[in-house]
Chain A
Amino acid sequence: MKLDMKGQTLFELERSVDELKLEELATALATDTAAETAALVPFFGPTIPGELRFVELLDVDLSRALLGGLSYRWNRPFRPGEKVSAKVFVEDVYEKSTNQFAIVTAEFRDADGEVIQVHKATFIERGAA
């Protein structure tokens, strides 16, 4: 994991809240309320351009990586078909004992610039044995 990435923006992207993706997500959840829930969590910020891009930018060793924390704050659910902008950045990165940690934040805004959701993911890369 790159330890000099604190404050760095990993990517800024425009995306639509694709109805097919929402359906795929709802199918994965497989409940009567899945469509409603899918509109809360249609994206995992770090993997919006695919997990390989994230891994490359932060130089994560996936064989030693874990997700340690995950948070979401919503102002409202996402709306199917709406255009959103996503900014994904490294809020913090640090070493503790033999492990390395990165807190990656994703901010989603609507076409008017209003925040829809902020979510954070804490990645842990365990020290090599």
Chain B
Amino acid sequence: MSWSETTLPPVTRVQIARYAGAVRDFNRIHVDEEFAKNSGMPSVIAHGPLTLARGLDAIVAQVGAGAVKAVEARLKAPYLPGESLTVVPVDGGFELRDGSGTVLMTALLTLDD
């Protein structure tokens, strides 16, 4: 089962806030600019599971949700509001890259045969 590279529009602060409410994760690093900066981030950051969900969604759009069996991701860099997200197929899985090409996440992916 194959799928191809996809670039998603920049994530917004509103999307981050909506995700926080949906999964009850109001960790201030995602919603409080001052807290995020004091924690060493340039701004609030998207939740890791939101970042991964966006990447998965690009794959689901091509193969369907029922075909996705497992994913194992390592988070490499924070995903900042205003940055696009490119889902790049690599051997055994995919990478998520922001608009400057920084690898945000590497993941192994298992799809239904």
Contacts and interface: CB of A to CB of B under 8 A. Distances in A.
A and B pair up: yes
Interface size class of B (residues with CB under 8 A): 35 or more
Interface size class of A (residues with CB under 8 A): 35 or more
Contact of B27 (A28, A34, A62): A62
Contact of A33 (B23, B38, B57): B57
A84 B107 CA distance: 27
Contacts of A50: 24, 26
A104 B96 CA distance: 23
Interface of B: 8, 15-16, 18-19, 21-29, 35, 38-39, 47-50, 52-54, 56-58, 60-61, 64-66, 68-75
Interface of A: 21, 24-25, 27-34, 36-44, 47-51, 62-74, 76-77, 121
Given A31-B57, A44-B25, A47-B23, 16 more contacts: A25-B22, A25-B53, A29-B15, A29-B53, A36-B60, A36-B64, A36-B65, A44-B47, A47-B24, A51-B26, A62-B39, A63-B38, A67-B48, A68-B74, A68-B75, A69-B73
